[in-house]
Amino acid sequence: MGPFARALLASSLFLLSSLVAGLTSSLQQVTNLPSTQNPTNAGFFYYKPTTVKTNPAVIVAIHFCTGTAQAYFTGSPYAQLADTYGFIVIYPSSPNSGTCWDVSSKQTLTHNAGGDSFGIANMAKYAISTWGADATRIFVTGSSSGAMMTNVLTAVYPDIFAAATVYSGVAAGCFMSSFGGVDAWNSTCAQGQVSATSAYWAAQVHAMYPGYTGGYPPIQEYHGTADTTLFPPNLNEEVKEWAGVFGYNAAAPTQVLQNNPASGYTKSVYGPALQGILGQGVGHTVPIMGNEDMKWFGFVAGGAAPPKGGSGSGSGTTTSGGGTTSSSSTAPPTSTSSSSTGTPTGGVAQHWDQCGGQGWTGPTVCVSPFKCTASNQWYSQCL
Ligand SMILES: *[C@@H]1O[C@H](CO)[C@@H](O)[C@H](O)[C@H]1NC(C)=O
């Protein structure tokens, strides 16, 4: 590591530790969630300020790949915000080696069928039954793998969550494993090569909770244009997915707001329940917009998410947004191929290509001057 990188790391560590300085309480753990409710044994950590509101709201804040509950507790602003606004934060901790969340197995992608999503849903239920949390104000957010899980929870447990914010994820179901793999990495999706219609994605979401007739949580989707871990086209797939569920037109935002919620970001509003927010030049780590989250979750005035919208498959067509989806086709997604992907030629991986990771059989050498850089144990990339 060069001196510049070391200085960067040191300053970001300083930033992290400063986020937990001066809190009224500390990170605690619940260890008695039975395995029937938490079959994958995901860690259940929480932050409860010394003083919370009566029937407090809850934010479930989900860590990134290689992360932990502790890392997200110290590295995100939610504990400090909990002190200010009197809510409880639940920090699930991934049980998987790696440690990314399982967003690929049939179990985790099906309502009440098990997987990591089931355990997290039951942590939220525990907060309601044990701490008297307000069942109508359970929110969910996360970064990267935690952002993927946020989309999954919004799709699989729409009955539990009131609203969601997603920092650099993929559409719910996009990491679906063709061989049923638990916590499997999906390079096709990660590299932004999965493209489907709104109707297809909405059908996927409805299939994750068949017979559900209620509304779906309003959702904000953040992504950076310079994301080389989960490529930028993933934002469009997320937008198409939820536009399909809410009955909006993913191709025609009703409003496009420049430099919102921060300089360099463009917020596209597709209807009251869906916003796509693109950060120009921002990489995989989109900084968490704590104040914007507080607005979206209704703790602060000015931009609160509406009540749940759209409807489940059990009640016919979705009409709440008044828009139309861009296509009625439910054809399976297409994988777009580009010259830099597909069967490797010459045994040398190009810039941005995968060059390693568990199960990888392609080239492990990068074209000069790029270096094979591990994102996690499943995925290395020429950067
Ligand atoms: C990756 O996900 C897509 C759907 O998003 C799926 O079609 C494909 O089979 C998955 N790949 C693997 C290796 O599971």
Cα 341 to middle of ligand 1, angstroms: 15
Provide the b/e sequence for 46-66 (b: ≥16 CB within 10 Å).
bbbbeebeeebbbbbbbbbbb
104 CA closest ligand 1 atom index: 14
pLDDT of 67 over the 80 cut: yes
Query: Is residue 13 pLDDT above 50, yes or no?
Result: no
Residue 8 has pLDDT above 50, yes or no: no
Kindly state the average pLDDT of the residues 298-305. 94
**Does residue 296 or residue 6 have the better pLDDT?**
296
Any ligand 1 atom below 6 A from CB of 325 = no
Write phi, then psi, for 195 (nearest 5 degrees). -130, 125
Task: Give mean pLDDT, residues 349-357.
Answer: 73
User: Above 60 in pLDDT, residue 205?
Assistant: yes
CB of 315 within 6 A of ligand 1: the answer is no
Q: Given this model, what pLDDT does residue 314 score?
A: 47
Percentage above 90 pLDDT, the chain:
73
> Model confidence at 326, in pLDDT bands (50, 70, 90)?
very low
pLDDT of 323 > 60? The answer is no
Residues 329/322, Cβ–Cβ less than 8 Å: no
User: With 90 as the cut, is the pLDDT of residue 377 above it?
Assistant: no
Averaged confidence pLDDT in the chain: 87
* pLDDT of 141 higher than 90: yes
92-101, 249-258, 260-269, 351-360: the lowest-pLDDT one? 351-360
How far away, in angstroms, is 178 Cα from ligand 1 center? 5
| Calpha distance 255→30 (Å, rounded) | 43
Q: What is the pLDDT of residue 20?
A: 72
Ligand 1 proximity of 189 Cβ (cutoff 6 Å): yes
Cα–Cα distance measured from residue 239 to residue 12, given in angstroms and rounded to the nearest whole number? 31
Confidence of residue 365 (pLDDT cuts 50, 70, 90): confident
Categorize the per-residue pLDDT at 258 as very low, low, confident or very high, splitting at 50, 70 and 90.
very high
DSSP 336: P
Atom of ligand 1 nearest to the CA of 174: 5
Compute how many other C-beta atoms are within 10 angstroms of the C-beta atom of residue 142.
Answer: 31
Which residues are annotated as catalytic? 144
Long-range contacts, stretch 73-78, CB < 8 angstroms, 24+ apart: 73/20, 73/27, 73/45, 73/47, 74/16, 74/17, 74/19, 74/20, 75/16, 75/19, 76/19, 76/143, 76/288, 76/290, 77/19, 77/288, 77/290, 78/47, 78/141, 78/290
Q: What is the pLDDT of residue 14?
A: 44
Q: 359: pLDDT confidence band, cut at 50, 70 and 90?
A: low
Mean pLDDT of 253-261: 97
Ligand 1 site, residue 190, Cβ cutoff 6 A:
no
Instruction: Say if pTM beats, i.e. exceeds, 0.85.
Output: no
Position 372 scores a pLDDT of 85
Q: Give the per-residue pLDDT at 316.
A: 38
103 pocket-lining for ligand 1 (C-beta < 6 Å): no
With CA atoms as reference, report the closest residue to 310 among 198, 146, 170.
198
pLDDT of 30 strictly over 80: yes
Q: For residue 174, report the distance from its CA to the centre of ligand 1, in Å.
A: 7
pLDDT of 71 > 80? The answer is yes
Instruction: Please report the pLDDT score of residue 349 as a whole number.
Output: 78
- Verify whether ligand 1 is closer than 6 Å to residue 194 (CB atom): yes
Q: How far is CA 206 from the centre of its chain?
A: 18
Q: How far is the CA of 179 from the centre of ligand 1 (A)?
A: 9
Q: What is the mean pLDDT of residues 357-372?
A: 77
- Residue bearing the bigger pLDDT, 370 or 39: 39
Best of 194, 208, 234, 378 to mutate for ligand 1, by most ligand atoms within 8 A of CB? 194
